[in-house]
Amino acid sequence: MPARSLGSVALRKAEDMEGGLHFNVFTVDFNEELVALYGGSLLRQTHFLHESIKAILRLYKHLKTPPQSVVLVGHSMGGVVARALFTLPRFNTNLVSLIITQASPHLAPVLALDPYLLDFYSAVRQKWVNQAKKLRNVTVLSVGGGYRDYQVRSGLTSLPCPPGDPNKLSLVATAVPRTWVSTDHLSIVWCKELVLATVRALFDLIHPETRQFSVNPEKKMAVLSHHFIRHPVRMLEETQETSVSISDFPESWSEVNTLRLAYSTPKEGQVKYFLFALSSRRKAYSHFYCRSNNLEMSSWVYGCVNASSCVHTVDLSTGTELLPPYKVLVLSLSNLSSVTHLLVSASNLNGKQFTVECEWQRQESQTLSVPAPHVLSFGLTASDVSVNSSGLLHIIQLQHFHQVYQALRINVASQCKVHKDRLPNVYRIHVPWFGEDSLTTASVPSVTEISGMLHTSRPDNSSGVLLLLHTAPNCQYKVSVRTSLPRVLGQILRFCGPMVPVYTAVTLLLACRGQLCSILKSRRSADMSQAVGKGLQPHQVNLPVYILHMLLSCSWFQDVWSVLYLPPMDALPSTTPDMTFHEGGVPVEEWPHPLSPLFYIWGAAVAFWGSALLRLIVRLISLILAPLHRPSVSRDCGTLPRRTLLLITLSLTVMGGVSCGALSIFAAFLLHLYRVLRLQMTERSLSHMLNLAPRQHKEAENGSVEGDSQSRSTECNGAPLLSECALQEVRDDLQLHLCLSALFTLPVMLIAPSLIHWIRNLRYSPQLDPDPCWPLSVPLIIVYMLLINCNTLKLSNSKLLPLTSCIPLPMSIAMVTFSPLHLYRVSYFLLAALVPLASCVLL
C-alpha cells in the first residue's frame, strides 16, 4: 500500500514547514484479494471504499471548516476501484477531487478470466467516457512503472477518456522529473523519487486560506504538470517580476557577441550576468539554447526590453526542463518579438561552482533523420547517421518507428579531439503521443547503447519519435540503429501474452483429435508426445480465421454475422491510447496477421513441454503411491462403478453449488488424475511381470504377431491378463488419458483465481458469491466423471466416434476467433468438444 511511504515522507516535510500543516493518511485494506484475476469482489470493494470515505469525513465534523473531499492514491487495481466510485448511483462526486494511481490497468484487465471483470471495466469506461463533462472537476493522474513492471504493462495504465480532456494525465515513471527510472509492480509504491514527487504535489495543492486541497481543476493540473511533466522553476500561475539595473553592478555585466557561451563560476561568490542581443540573430537563427548544472530551480533567464537598464524584465525560465545532470531551456525566437535582449544569470553568491553553456541554434540544420530498420531485418542491417555539428542539441527523427512490436538497439558513440572536463551527455527518446520518454546519461567520450521500445503505438496524425541528443561542444557523434530480435519477441509476448494460452488449448485439443483419429483408424492411441507435436497445424486453424477477417470487411457478411447473434471477433490487444472497444469494454486493434503462427508456435511449445512435465509428474507420483496399492494388471484400474460415479457426480455438483464451483471442478480433475496414476502403476507392474516371465510362456500367450491391425486387436481381446496385448491395451489407455488430463488442466488453471479467492475468504463465508464457475461446473464435472471410465475399446466401438473426431477442429477455430480477449471462453469451447467424447462412453 502507498499509505506508509506517503505518510512518512509527508510527516517529515510537514515538520520542516511552518504553520502546523500536516496530512492524515488513511489506508483501505482490501485483504489482498485477487481482484486483478477475479472480478466478483470489485463491486464490493467499490462500496467498501465509498463507506470508508464517508467514515473518514465524519471524523472531522466537529471542526469549524471540515474537509469536504479526499484525495485517493491507489496502487494497481486500487486505482481502478477508485475510478469505479463514480459508477455508484448514490455516490457524491464532490467527495473526491483528485485521484492518483500507480501501475493501475485502466484500459483493460491484464487477463480476462471471468465475465464479472469485463463487466466491471465496461461500466467504469462508459461512465468516464460518456459523462466526461460531468467529471471534468475530477483530476486523475495515472503513473505506469515502465518496462520493469512485468505484471501490468504501462500501455494499460493509459486513461480511457475523450481526446483533449484537460484533467486526465497519463505517463510513465521514466518520464517523471527527478525520477527517470522504471519500477516493478510493487516497488512503484515505495520508490523514493515518485513518493517525493507525489508528496510535493500534495503540499502544493493546499489552498492557503482554507488549508484544504484545492478544487480548482486548472490549479490541480498546473501542480501535477509541474511535478510530473517538466518541473520548471515555478508554476505558470505564479507571477514574478525582476528588476536588474546595470548601474548597480556594472562590472558584473558582460555582453556576448559569439555564437556560444561556456562559463564556469569561480569558487568565490559573485554576481554575474550575460547579455545576448536578439536583433542581429533573428534572421540567421531560430532558437536559443541554454543549460546549467546549477540545479537550484530558481529564475535564471530573462527577457529585456531595454538593454541599458533591464528595469522591467520578463521571466523566461518557466520553460526550463530538468534533466538528470543539468537544467535546460530552449527558447523560440519567434515567440520573443517584444524582447530585445536575453539575460542569463550566472551568479553564485553562495560560492557554489557550476557551468553555464548557451548557444544560438538553427533547428533545421541540427535536425537529422534516420530510418528505423525493418523488423524482419533481424539486426543484420543498421541505419547510421553522423553528427558533425558542434552544437549542444541535436534532434534525430526516427522514421517508421511507431509500432509496439518494433524494438531498436541504438548505439551512440561520442569522440572528442580535446580531452577536458565536460558536462555529460543526455540522450532522450521523446514520444509525442504518450508520456513515456526515457533518458540516458553518458560521459564524454563514450559508447552508449539505448533500448528503443514503445509502450503505445502512434495514433493517427501524430508526429514521430525523436531522439534528442544533448551533446558536448566540438565533439563528433555517430548514431547506429538496429533491430533487436530478442526485444522484438519480448515486445510481442508482452502485448500478446493472452494469445499463448489460447493456442496452447488449441494444440492440446488438436492432439486429442489426433488420438481419436488414431483410435478410429487403428483402434490404438498414438504416443502423447507425437500427438501434441502434430497438434501444431496453423494452416488448418489460422487460415479460416484469416478468411473470417476478410469476410467481415464485407457489409453483407456483417449482416449475416449479426443475424446469427455472434459476438464480435476478438482481435489482439490495443496498443494505442485512442482505442476502439468491443461491447464488453475490451480494447481491440488490428495486429499483423503473420504474427498468429508465431503465437501458435509459442502455444505449441508450452503444450509440448507442459505435457512432458505432466508425464514426469505422473511417473513420480505413481512411484510414491505404488506401495499403497495392490499390483493390478487390468485396464479397468481406477474406474468407478456406475452407482458410485453417479453418487460422486451429484455430491460434487451440490458441493459446487453450496461452496465454490472451482472446488468441485478441481476435485473432479483429481479423480481423473487418480485414474491416470493407476494406469501408470498398472503399466509399470505389467512391464515388470512380463520381463520376469519365461520367453516361451510369453510367446505362447502372445500368439502370432502377423496379420493386419484388426486381427491383432481380435487376438488382444481374448488374450490373458498377463500378456503383451494386455500391456499394449494399458499403454493405449494411458496415452489417451494423459492427453485428456493435459486438456483438463487448462480449465483448472483458468479457474484457479476463483478457487484461491474462495480459500482466502473461507473464514468469512463458505460460499463464493458471485461464482463465475458455477454455470460451467455442472457439465464439466459430468464430463470429467464420465471420461474416467473411458478406454480405447469403448471409443473404437462407439458409433459417435467419427462425428466426435471432427468436432475439435471447428472448436479450435472458434477458440482463436472469440477467446484471445475473453480467456474464460476457452473452458466453454473445450467443454463443447468434450461433451461428444463423453457421449461415446455411454453410446
Domains 1-229 and 250-364 share a fold: no
206 backbone dihedrals φ, ψ, rounded to 5°: -75, 130
Residues of the chain whose pLDDT is less than 70? Answer: 1-2, 19, 233-250, 306-311, 389, 419, 461, 571-593, 693-722
- Is the CATH number 3.40.47 carried by domain 1-229? no
The CATH label, of 3.10.620, 3.10.530, 2.60.120, 3.40.50, for the domain at 366-483 is 2.60.120
Q: What is the pLDDT of residue 135?
A: 87
Question: In the 8-state DSSP scheme, what is residue 567?
Answer: P
Give me the residue spans of the domains in the chain.
1-229, 250-364, 366-483, 490-573+592-691+721-842
Classified as helix, coil or strand, 204 is helix
pLDDT of residue 704: 45
Q: Which residues, other chains included, contact 397 with Cβ-Cβ below 8 Å and sequence gap of 6+?
A: 367, 368, 369, 370, 464, 465, 466, 467
Q: What values do phi and psi take at 403, rounded to 5? A: -115, 150
Q: Which position among 41, 76, 182, 819 bears the catalytic label?
A: 76
pLDDT of residue 87: 93
Check residue 24 and give its pLDDT. Answer: 87
**Coil, helix or strand for 318?**
helix
Tell me the residue type at 610.
G
How much is the pLDDT for 234? Answer: 64
Residues in the chain: 843
pLDDT of residue 117: 93
DSSP string, 380-422: SSEEEEEE----SEEEEEEET---TT-EEEEEEEEEESS----
Secondary-structure percent of the chain, ordered helix, strand, coil, rounded to 5: 45, 15, 40
How many Å apart are CA 212 and CA 639, to the nearest integer?
71
Reported as a single tens digit per residue, the pLDDT across 487-546 is 999 999 888 888 899 999 999 999 999 999 999 999 899 998 999 988 888 889 989 988
Architecture of the domain delimited by 250-364: Sandwich (2.60)
Quick check: 141 and 224 in contact, CB under 8 A? yes
CA distances from 585 to 158, 347, 589, 765 (A): 15, 57, 13, 31
pLDDT at 718: 53
H helix intervals, 693-824? 695-702, 709-717, 724-750, 752-760, 774-788, 792-797, 801-804, 808-818
For residue 74, the model assigns a pLDDT of 93
Query: Under a CB-based contact definition with an 8 Å cutoff, are residues 180 and 191 in contact?
Result: no
Per-residue model confidence (pLDDT) at position 591: 59
Contacts of 113 (CB under 8 A, 6+ apart): 37, 38, 750, 751, 753, 772, 823, 824
Contact residues for 2 (Cβ-Cβ < 8 A; gap 6+):
73, 74, 75, 102, 189, 190, 195
**Pick from 168, 124, 153, 132: which is nearest to 584 by CA?**
124
Does the active-site annotation cover 76? Answer: yes
